[in-house]
Amino acid sequence: MIRAPVPVRAGAAGPAGDPGGGPGGGPGGGPGGSAGEPQRLVVITGMSGAGKSSALAALEDLGYEAVDNLPLALLDGLLTGATLDRPLAVVTDVRTRDFTVDRLLDTVAQLRGRPGLDVTLLFLDCDDDVLRRRFTETRRRHPLALDRPLSDGLALERARMAPVQAGADVIVDTAHWTLGELKRRLEDQLGLGRGAEGAVIAVVSFGFRHGLPREADLVFDVRFLRNPHYVTDLRPLTGRDPAVAAHVTADPDFDRFWSALTALLDVVLTRQQGEGKSYLTLAVGCTGGRHRSVLVAERLGAWLTGRGARVTVRHRDLEPAGPPA
């Protein structure tokens, strides 16, 4: 991993001791500037402490040239002044010497208009409670909280970065991902599967009491369905169990709901494919994230796989969270 030769202010772009990793073979399905193919560029940014260094290391392991804390003024020279034989990933954020939100968005817009360049703006985020815990555990200072409380620095950064998040191509919430899961997530979201065809779709179940998944493109609320929580024998089970599935699908409105849901997604996915979009995150929520949302997410995963999509299914509030990404 290359580190740009500029002073780095103290800021936690990921947990202490993020693995570096060496460059591997070029990522399958991810062009690296070979003849006739666009040069791929991933610009990584987001909240301090959300795991940008971890994401950069993961992309390096997938064959990217990786540059951390790159001043935006040097990016054009990096792209034009050297022959790159593999894709490029760079991190730029509030630590960076010449960073401003307007400059970042203008730079990305200009690069997107350049022939032969495939640009993705990747934004990493997670809840403020998780960020505060990471800064406390690593004993690092937030780059905007050198002379103020950590909470004030996070609030200031979130307000500043809101336009960048709104303009991002991919948003990844790292609160519940281990390093390995983050790497697989990036591989899916950036279309780096080796030789795979079709769209990449992530389906995640969740409980509303634990908050919405930040990375969701579409959110479906299934709290109107019959709730197994109130059946004593079903309460300790999950939506993966046949008894729970039978209880929920026996809801008199389930079949009508399922037909409407798949009809909607058929339209959305067809239009997305026509516009060249290769990734989508579908979130399905119930109250606790244990029964109804899990069942519907599992069914969606099977239905999407039958349509030829590459699908990952994750149950955010059913599975224990790993260490911070």
pLDDT tens string 150-170: 888 888 889 999 999 999 988
pLDDT of 108 reads 93
Residue whose C-alpha is closest to residue 108's, from 95, 123, 97: 123
pLDDT of 1 reads 43
List pLDDT tens digits, range 267-315.
998 887 766 566 789 999 999 999 999 999 999 999 999 888 888 899 9
Residue 95 assigned ligand-binding role: yes
Residue 271 assigned ligand-binding role: no
List pLDDT tens digits, range 25-55.
343 344 344 455 788 899 999 998 888 988 9
User: Coil, strand or helix: which one is 47?
Assistant: coil
List pLDDT tens digits, range 204-261.
999 999 999 888 889 999 999 999 999 999 999 999 999 999 999 999 999 999 999 9
- In this predicted structure, the answer to whether residue 21 has a pLDDT above a threshold of 70 is no
Measure Cα distances from 105 to 111, 162, 230 in Å.
10, 12, 50
User: Coil, strand or helix: which one is 198?
Assistant: coil
Instruction: Give the E-state strand segments of the chain in sequence order.
Output: 2-3, 39-46, 65-68, 88-91, 117-125, 170-173, 200-207, 218-221, 279-286, 310-315
Domains of the chain: 2-189 (3.40.50.300), 200-315 (no CATH)
Structure-token pair, residue 195: 């030789």
Residue 48 assigned ligand-binding role: yes
Residue 277 assigned ligand-binding role: no
Residue 51 assigned ligand-binding role: yes
Residue 160 assigned ligand-binding role: no
pLDDT band at 69 (very low <50, low <70, confident <90, very high): confident
pLDDT of 206 reads 95
Structure-token pair, residue 219: 């959110």
pLDDT of 49 reads 87
Q: Count other Cβ atoms within 10 Å, centred on residue 24.
A: 12
Distance CA 113, CA 92 (A): 20
- pTM for the model stands at 0.57
Residue 290 assigned ligand-binding role: no
Residues linked to residue 313 through DSSP beta bridges, in sequence order:
203
List pLDDT tens digits, range 121-152.
999 998 888 888 888 888 788 887 887 888 88
pLDDT band at 6 (very low <50, low <70, confident <90, very high): very low
Residue 46 assigned ligand-binding role: yes
Q: Count other Cβ atoms within 10 Å, centred on residue 289.
A: 25
Residue 47 assigned ligand-binding role: yes
Residue 28 assigned ligand-binding role: no
